[in-house]
Chains A and B, each alone.
Chain A
Amino acid sequence: MNFVIRRIAFYLVAFLVAATINFALPRLMPGNPIDVMFAQQNSTLTPEARDALVATFGFASGPLHLQFLDYMKSVFTGDLGYSIRFYPQKVNQVLAYALPWTLLLAGTATLMAFCVGSIIGTFAAWRRGGMLDAVVTPVSLALQATPAVVIALTALFIFGVALKWLPTGYAFAPALDPAWSWEFFGSVALHGLMPICSLMVVFVGGYLVTMRNNMIGQLGEDHVTMGLAKGLSDRRVQLNYAARNALLPSVTSLGLTLGAILGGSLVTEVVFNYPGLGQTLYIGIVTRDYPLIQGQLLIMTFATLLANLAVDLLYVFFDPRLRKA
């Protein structure tokens, strides 16, 4: 239990650091972010109107440490201020609408990539140098080094525009209203298929290679030889003796890649016009909606840290040594 508590404390500090960066950034930049922001909106703003907007958007004046305290209070009460682009909506509302779509996209893709990658990696390592290994390993290396933008754009071009098999945008058919109906879920699945698959393809290679290399390391260990010598079936040795231990570093790498997956999901959403956090962030960037952009960083950091915590718990499950400590 000690282990879990220490991890939670660590993530709390990491979150504080991210929040501090968020606080410091606009104040470190040359010029006044408020002026930059409003310059983008409309140039004819009376000083009174500007002051009113500054007050509404929460750019407090006064000593820095008081500003910081105010800011931290608003972060922990979950109040991220008003969005400029979607005014009068609050940043929370905008993000709350977008978050589930990103979780669906990134979550499903991660799960699929991790499972598929680890399973194929296990088999590639068991017969390294065989047909499967010779084909799959170089291909996954290539995929791993290909940016999400490229894969998403290529998929969009082939399946969306050239073949016209799958819809090229939105999370569900615009004519439908969200409802608990098969028709709606079918539409969501159809629209999600291409973004999820292209995101999965970007990340499957990394897990595959990690698993393969760990597994090869395991296969040279004594306990594997011992298992074989005992006369256990190949499958048993492969899965229960080697793969279970090889999974540990894979799970660690899963935690470390979560941030990257979220990043990949941002880009994929922009390409497929998918209404998640990435699409919202893109709109925020284009319109220089700083409160929205900053809220994004916080919520994404929060999501990543939460997912990392889940990975730590998974680790405890896989590694019994940690349960006692």
Chain B
Amino acid sequence: MFETLKVFLRNKKALIGLIIVLLYVAVAIFGPMLLNLDPMQRVGRPHQPPNADELLGTTRMGRDVFAQLIYGTRTSLAVGFFAGIIIVLIGTVLGIAAGYFGGWIDEVISFFTNVVLVIPQLPLLLVIAAFMGQTNPAVIAIIIGMTSWAWGARVTRSQTLTLRNREYILASELIGERPTRMIFVELLPNLLSIIGFNFIGSVTYTIITQATLEFLGLGNPMSVSWGTMLYHAQNASAISVGAWWEVLVPALAVAGIGVGLSLLNFGVDEISNPRLRTLGTVAAAIKAQKKLDQQRLAEVKP
């Protein structure tokens, strides 16, 4: 366990990604406690540029952008993690069921997964959200979770299929292990990296999608999140009147967590597939070799 962690932290991309994500999580958990300011409260005149009192300026409604950012981080991350858990649960259960049991169960699940995969996600989400009326963040998380599991199910299935044909699975089948034990003890631990990959990807996707849905006016405008901040900014024509802080602050917040999570994911990918590494170690080795060659040359010459 400790060894894995060390390998993980030695990867620069994974480390930077982890630091960014932990920073966001810390802000989401502790930020609102430390700040102690109602994000919906009017604190000053509308569209004040960043100053000493309002660190990131005010919105059209005279609300503090910094306070909205901190509270918005909490909402957006919560929605991301909640939906991520739903997506991973559905995807993993369906993927393992299809890959392990095979036969008609696999046929049905795979077909269903492929159908969901080709129906365009965002328009579908928009239609569902539009019929639900103005949706709270929790409802958005559930909608996204229920519609976005297909990719994870597909990847988990194909990984389960390759594991299924390994000899150790065959051996435990011959011993007569029950399916539950096979799945939880033999398969699941070997699927953990895929599941983690799926989870990180899903959280990224959910955060982006939530911001998009709310930006389009399908969220609850009374809730505070990055998406509703963008929605209010757009409604107030913040860009045209030059109130860049009202738009750029939530925009950068979304972009930042996206970058952090995907660096984390890419780092995990590199660790599990050494070929993908940008060869920092190999470059170092080549350098060392050259140095050694030069030394030897120098020794031979005289």
Q: Does B103 contact A (CB under 8 A)?
A: no
Q: In the complex, which of the residues B121, B151, B212, B247 contacts A147, with contact meaning CB atoms closer than 8 Å?
A: B212
- Interface positions, chain A 46-62, Cβ under 8 Å from B, are none
A139 to chain B, nearest CB (A): 10
1/0 contact string of A1-35 vs chain B (CB within 8 Å): 00000000011011001100110011001000100
Q: Among the interface residues A146, A260, A266, which one has the most CB atoms of the partner chain B within 10 A?
A: A146
Contact B124 A297 (CB under 8 A): yes
A29 & B132 in contact (Cβ 8 Å cutoff): yes
Q: Is B276 an interface residue (CB 8 A)?
A: yes
CB atoms of B13 and A138 under 8 A apart:
yes
B282 contacts the other chain (CB 8 A): yes
Contacts across chains A and B counted by CB atoms under 8 Å? 163
User: Smallest Cβ distance from A310 to chain B, in angstroms?
Assistant: 13
A129–B118 touching, CB < 8 Å: no
Interface size on A, residues (CB 8 A): 68
CB distance from B82 to the nearest CB of A (A): 19
B1-48 interface with A by 8 A CB criterion? 13
Q: Complex formed: what's the CA distance from A18 to B117 in Å?
A: 11
User: Residue B278 contacts which of A134, A168, A305 (CB distance < 8 angstroms)?
Assistant: A134
Known: A149-B211, A157-B247. A297 touches B275 (CB 8 A): no
Residue total for B at the interface (Cβ-Cβ under 8 A) = 53
Contact A263/B123 with A144-B262, A145-B262 known, Cβ cut-off 8 Å? yes
Interface assignment of A72: CB less than 8 Å from any CB of chain B: no
Q: What residue of chain B has the Cβ atom nearest to residue A300's Cβ?
A: B123
Of A182-190, A242-250, A280-288, the one touching chain B? A280-288
Point out the residues of chain A lying under 8 angstroms from B127, CB to CB. 22, 25, 293-294, 296-297
Residues of B within 8 A of A194 (CB): none
With A263-B121, A263-B212, A301-B120 in contact, do A147 and B126 touch (Cβ < 8 Å)? no
Chain B residue numbers with a CB within 8 Å of A17 are 115, 119
Q: Beta-carbon contacts of B273-287 to A below 8 Å, as 1s and 0s? A: 001101110110000
Residue among A13, A147, A294 facing the most chain B CB atoms (10 A cut-off): A147
Given A17-B119, A149-B212, A259-B121, residue A142 in contact with residue B259 (CB < 8 A): yes
Given A129-B280, A262-B122, verify A145-B255 contact (CB < 8 Å): yes
Report the Cα distance A264→B205, complex, angstroms: 13
Chain B residues with CB under 8 A of A156: 239
Q: How far is the CB of B214 from chain A (nearest CB, A)?
A: 10
Q: Pick the contact of A157: B131, B239, B261, B266 (CB < 8 A).
A: B239
Q: Mark B34-71, 1 if CB is under 8 A from A, else 0.
A: 00000000000000000000000000000000000000
Interface positions of B from 257 to 298, Cβ below 8 Å from A:
258-259, 261-263, 266, 269, 275-276, 278-280, 282-283
Report Cα–Cα, A18/B125, bound state, in Å: 12
Per the 8 Å Cβ criterion, residues 216-254 of B in contact with A are 216-218, 230, 234, 239-240, 242, 244, 247-248, 251-252, 254
Q: Quick one: closest A residue to B244, CB to CB?
A: A157
User: Is A256 close to B, CB under 8 A?
Assistant: yes
Once A216-B276, A259-B122, A301-B120 are accepted as A-B contacts, the answer to whether A267 and B215 lie under 8 Å apart by CB is yes
Known: A157-B244, A267-B216. A13 touches B126 (CB 8 A): no
Contacts A141-B263, A149-B230 given; indicate if A129 touches B283 (C-beta within 8 A). Answer: yes
A195–B115 CA distance with the chains assembled, in angstroms: 30
Which listed residue, B119, B130, B242, B261, touches A288 by the CB 8 Å rule? B130
A142-B259, A145-B259, A285-B130 known; A263-B254 Cβ under 8 A: no
Q: A209 to chain B: which residues have CB within 8 Å?
A: 266
Say yes or no: B247 contacts A153, CB within 8 Å.
Answer: yes
Give bound CA distance, A301 to B126, whole Å.
13
**Contacting residues, chain A, for B131 (C-beta < 8 A):** 25-26, 29, 33, 290
Chain B residues within 8 Å of A, Cβ to Cβ: 13, 114-115, 117-124, 126-128, 130-133, 151, 204, 208, 211-212, 215-218, 230, 234, 239-240, 242, 244, 247-248, 251-252, 254-255, 258-259, 261-263, 266, 269, 275-276, 278-280, 282-283
What residues of chain A lie closer than 8 Å to B218, measured between beta carbons? 285
A137 at the interface (CB under 8 A from B): yes
Q: Residues of B contacting A294 with CB < 8 Å?
A: 127
Q: Are A300 and B132 in contact (CB under 8 A)?
A: no
Decide: A153 and B230 in contact? CB cutoff 8 A: yes
Contact status of A147 and B118, CB under 8 A, knowing A22-B127, A129-B280, A137-B278: no
Residues B258 and A147 in contact, CB atoms below 8 Å apart: yes
Contact across chains for B212 and A301 when beta carbons are under 8 A apart: no
Residue of A149, A168, A264, A293 near B215 (CB, 8 A) is: A149
How far is B276's CA from A129's CA once the two chains are assembled, in angstroms?
10
> Within 8 Å of chain B (Cβ to Cβ): is A118?
no
Which residues of chain A (129-185) have a CB below 8 Å from chain B? 129, 133-134, 137-138, 141-142, 144-150, 153-154, 156-157, 160-161, 168
Give chain B residues whose Cβ lies under 8 Å from the Cβ of A149: 211-212, 215, 230, 251, 254
